[in-house]
């Protein structure tokens, strides 16, 4: 019997239908020699700190850094997950062969490998690797199953990512919470979320500290066309007025006219990030909204695999393009002309060297039905972008007109579309091009040497601060490690060093909102005071540097490609964590403002993917303590009744290196209980009684805390 393990029940049903397995069992579908079962995202995860060492359950600076000698995995504590795992475990124990049908990516490989490892799989394993869930794709994938060993390095990179996130998240979160958190909030630190927050804080501070500077521009209007002085800006008004006075009495003369013809290629096919950017610009969708919609379209078989970072197609897709276009029935007015001739095969679209795990997001050719309004919007973007890439290039003409008044030169530029080409696919979006209206206006017909009256003016202007990030511009910044790059090819070169992965960036942004590190005002993103203080407190550059974090991401990709040793990566990581802990332990006197999160109106619950992304791993493993850790944290530092200071009744009891104290010590509260008093080391029970103002016996003495907060013997 062959056991197939899919990433989720819906995918298992699709696979089972193709394989002819039609008998439903508890947790799997059987038939035709196959048993098709499924996972629910992550069934296994890395063990919690206290499962390596019971002492690590309690949050203490003295225990850091926490670095297990050997990492282990465990089942996620969830009745449904545990039940499904035991079903998979039983099926694997009697299988002749296991087929890994997990999500075709790094995290999908990790999810499946951990399940098979935990189930002690001993039989041979094959890998199904497909980019869409259509019947044709599934059949083709099963006809070309690959050995699991082909993906060993993919799994190794995924495991290093998970371990790295665990090590950095657990240690840095405990470290910064205990040192700076004032016992009011867990200060979540993560490999991806912290440098992302640093980008937001840096931009905010650039805006806050920006000092506008006044300048002047000399322009003149001749024949309803605005010409700008080629000299550029004037930094003082007096100089500008001098030039204005020179030109105000004389005629304008056209001195040169040049026309340059050019072509424009269609916008490149979508990867996940560019789709999220476009949806945020056009529809105001958050990155998480877009990911949810495109994932739904993938599961409805109308678009290909969404979590991709390439804008190219593999060359073997070219013969399939006509059938995909024929399937786009709602766009027949745009596809008919393409289907009447040979489909072009351009390197700008088809390039095997630019393909990693998957190709760009495109339609599958399945006619979409039962789409929500938002899903239809996303599908329309994907479909039109795909169609446009097979249209001819847009032909343009750019005209530059030079003129002068006296000896002062002026210039005007206009752009004219000669043949629209692919632009006809986006005619309904013409108004989106209005931003470039001034640059793309059509100029009147000028003649060299013509002269005439004009209307010059000196315009006062002020330099403008950088714009706040929106989700669209933040996604681009994460993709390019903070560098502002508009050119698509240059962006591709920087993707290797980007922050996070396409599939996790949406969740990272949501995590920063939930942690109250940043907030959104309309489309703009601003950091909270807590977020600002946290970034300014972090002195260890690796935690907040987009470029350094991008280099870490690059090393993980190199491991995936067998160009870097995972052991070297792990050694570097452990050294970094140890250095970080030592640096922060020696830092005194700083605190981080804890800004209260604004209450939001309850949102209607929406069905979300069960798959646990890297961002979710980071928020649950690094950003906040795991479930058991959260309980330990509550006892030690969370603001509950037992943790209120017994003297001022407003502060919280803090545990320092040598004593318990009050968080209001800086405003005069005297509460203090040393761990050792006159040679006696207090037990946990004794310390608890003392914090409750109870008297305890030490030998022949009785000791207690006075009403003034002074520790004394009776």
d(CA 360, CA 303): 10
Kindly tell me the burial class for residue 566, based on how many C-beta atoms sit within 10 Å of its own C-beta (0-12, 13-18, 19 or more): middle
Average pLDDT over residues 306-322: 91
476 with 506, same domain: the answer is yes
> Dihedral of CA 305/310/311/316: which sign?
negative
Arithmetic mean of pLDDT over the chain: 84
**Is there a domain that residue 281 lies in?**
yes
**Is there a domain that residue 619 lies in?**
no
Phi-psi group of 30: left, alpha or beta (phi > 0 → left; psi -120 to 50 → alpha; rest → beta): beta
133 with 200, same domain: the answer is no
Task: Give phi and psi for 437, each to the nearest 5.
Answer: -60, -45
Q: In which band, very low, low, confident or very high, does the pLDDT at 290 lie, cut at 50, 70 and 90?
A: very high
Q: What is the CATH number of the domain that holds 484?
A: 1.10.460.10
193 with 245, same domain: the answer is no
**Is there a domain that residue 159 lies in?**
no
497 with 456, same domain: the answer is no
| 129 pLDDT above the threshold of 80 | yes
**Is there a domain that residue 600 lies in?**
no
Q: What is the dihedral of CA 555, 559, 560, 562, to 10 degrees?
A: 130
Q: What is the CATH number of the domain that holds 285?
A: 1.10.290.10
What's the domain range around 547?
181-208+467-552
d(CA 345, CA 318): 7
CB–CB of 233/217 below 8 Å?
A: yes
Q: What is the pLDDT of residues 490-513, one digit of tens each?
A: 445 445 557 778 878 888 999 999
299 with 416, same domain: the answer is no
262 with 398, same domain: the answer is yes
Of 552, 570, 595, the domain-final residue: 552
Q: What is the CATH number of the domain that holds 140?
A: 3.40.50.140
For position 655, what pLDDT does the model report? 63
CB–CB of 363/302 below 8 Å?
A: yes
Average pLDDT over residues 326-352: 93
Q: What is the pLDDT of residues 510-528, one digit of tens each?
A: 999 998 999 999 889 999 9
293 with 407, same domain: the answer is no
**Is there a domain that residue 276 lies in?**
yes
Of 552, 572, 593, the domain-final residue: 552
131 with 33, same domain: the answer is yes
> Dihedral of CA 290/291/292/294: which sign?
positive
For position 360, what pLDDT does the model report? 94
| 666 pLDDT above the threshold of 90 | no
pTM of the model: 0.72
Q: Kindly give, in sequence order, each residue whose CB lies less than 8 Å from that of residue 565, ignoring residues fewer than 6 positions away.
A: 559
**Is there a domain that residue 9 lies in?**
yes
257 with 398, same domain: the answer is yes
Q: Which one has a higher pLDDT value, 662 or 66?
A: 66
Task: Verify whether residue 564 is a known catalytic residue.
Answer: no
93 with 28, same domain: the answer is yes
Q: What is the CATH number of the domain that holds 414?
A: 2.70.20.10
Average pLDDT over residues 564-585: 90
For position 380, what pLDDT does the model report? 97
**Is there a domain that residue 620 lies in?**
no
| 602 pLDDT above the threshold of 50 | no
694 with 708, same domain: the answer is yes
- Number of Cβ within 10 Å of residue 678's Cβ equals 10
Average pLDDT over residues 118-145: 93
Q: In which band, very low, low, confident or very high, does the pLDDT at 384 lie, cut at 50, 70 and 90?
A: very high
For position 330, what pLDDT does the model report? 94
Kindly tell me the burial class for residue 410, based on how many C-beta atoms sit within 10 Å of its own C-beta (0-12, 13-18, 19 or more): buried
| CA neighbours closer than 13 Å in the CB half-sphere of residue 411 | 8
**Is there a domain that residue 322 lies in?**
yes
For position 710, what pLDDT does the model report? 60
How many structural domains compose the chain? 5
11 with 53, same domain: the answer is yes
State the catalytic residue, choosing from 34, 155, 180, 305: 305
Of 462, 484, 519, the domain-final residue: 462
């Amino acid at each position: 019997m062959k056991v197939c393990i899919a990433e989720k029940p819906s995918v298992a049903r699709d696979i089972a239908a193709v394989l002819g397995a039609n008998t439903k069992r508890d947790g799997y579908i059987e038939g035709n020699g196959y048993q098709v079962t499924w996972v629910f995202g992550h069934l296994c995860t890395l063990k919690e700190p206290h499962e390596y060492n019971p002492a690590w359950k309690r949050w203490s600076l003295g225990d850091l850094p926490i670095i297990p000698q050997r990492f282990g995995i465990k089942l996620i504590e969830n009745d449904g997950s545990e039940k499904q795992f035991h079903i998979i475990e039983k099926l694997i124990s009697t299988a002749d062969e296991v087929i890994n049908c997990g999500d075709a990516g790094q995290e999908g490989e990790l999810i499946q490998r951990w399940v098979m490892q935990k189930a002690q799989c001993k039989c041979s394993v094959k890998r199904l690797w497909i980019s869409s869930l259509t019947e044709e794709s599934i059949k083709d994938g099963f006809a070309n199953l690959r050995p699991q060993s082909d993906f060993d390095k993919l799994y190794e990179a995924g495991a290093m990512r998970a371990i790295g996130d665990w090590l950095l998240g657990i240690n840095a979160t405990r470290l910064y919470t205990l040192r700076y958190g004032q016992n009011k909030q867990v200060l979540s630190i993560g490999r991806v979320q912290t440098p992302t927050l640093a980008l937001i804080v840096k931009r905010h501070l650039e805006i806050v500290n920006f000092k506008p500077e006044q300048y002047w521009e000399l322009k003149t209007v001749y024949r309803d066309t605005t010409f700008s002085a080629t000299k550029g800006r004037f930094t003082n008004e007096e100089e500008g007025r001098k030039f204005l006075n020179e030109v105000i009495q004389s005629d304008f003369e056209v001195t040169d006219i040049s026309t340059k013809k050019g072509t424009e290629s269609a916008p490149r096919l979508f990867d996940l990030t560019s789709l999220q950017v476009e949806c945020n610009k056009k529809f105001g969708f958050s990155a998480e909204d877009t990911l949810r919609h495109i994932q739904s379209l993938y599961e409805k078989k109308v678009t290909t695999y969404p979590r991709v970072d390439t804008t190219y197609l593999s060359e073997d897709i070219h013969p399939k393009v006509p059938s995909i276009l024929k399937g786009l029935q709602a766009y027949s007015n745009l596809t008919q002309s393409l289907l009447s001739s040979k489909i072009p095969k351009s390197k700008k679209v088809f390039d095997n060297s630019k393909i990693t795990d998957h190709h760009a997001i495109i339609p599958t050719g399945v006619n979409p039905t039962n789409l929500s309004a938002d899903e239809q919007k996303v599908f329309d973007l994907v479909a039109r972008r795909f169609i446009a890439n097979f249209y001819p290039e847009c032909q343009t003409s750019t005209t530059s007109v030079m003129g002068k008044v006296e000896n002062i030169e002026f210039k005007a530029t206009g752009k004219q579309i000669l043949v629209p080409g692919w632009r006809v696919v986006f005619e309904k979006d013409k108004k989106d091009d209005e931003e470039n209206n001034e640059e793309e206006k059509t100029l009147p017909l000028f003649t060299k040497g013509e002269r005439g009256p004009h209307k010059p003016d000196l315009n006062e202007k002020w330099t403008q601060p950088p714009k706040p990030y929106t989700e669209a511009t933040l996604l681009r910044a994460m993709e390019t490690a903070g560098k502002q790059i508009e050119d698509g090819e240059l962006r591709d070169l920087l993707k290797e060093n980007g922050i996070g992965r396409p599939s996790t960036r949406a969740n990272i942004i949501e995590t920063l909102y939930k942690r109250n590190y940043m907030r959104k005002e309309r489309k703009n993103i601003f950091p909270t005071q807590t977020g600002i203080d946290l970034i300014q407190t972090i002195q260890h550059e690796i935690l907040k540097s987009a470029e350094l974090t991008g280099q870490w991401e690059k090393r993980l990709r190199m491991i995936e490609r067998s160009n870097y040793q995972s052991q070297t990566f792990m050694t570097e990581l452990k050294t970094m964590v140890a250095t970080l802990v030592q640096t922060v332990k020696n830092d005194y006197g700083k605190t981080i403002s804890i800004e209260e999160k604004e209450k939001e109106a309850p949102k209607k619950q929406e069905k979300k993917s069960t798959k646990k992304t890297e961002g979710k791993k980071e928020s649950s493993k690094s950003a906040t303590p795991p479930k058991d850790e959260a309980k330990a944290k509550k006892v030690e530092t969370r603001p509950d009744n037992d943790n209120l200071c017994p003297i001022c009744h407003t502060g919280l009891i803090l545990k320092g290196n040598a004593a318990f104290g009050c968080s209001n010590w800086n405003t005069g509260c005297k509460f203090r209980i040393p761990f050792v008093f006159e040679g006696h080391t207090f037990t946990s029970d004794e310390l608890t009684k003392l914090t409750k103002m109870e008297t305890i016996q030490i030998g022949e003495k009785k000791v207690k805390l006075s009403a003034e907060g002074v520790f004394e013997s009776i």
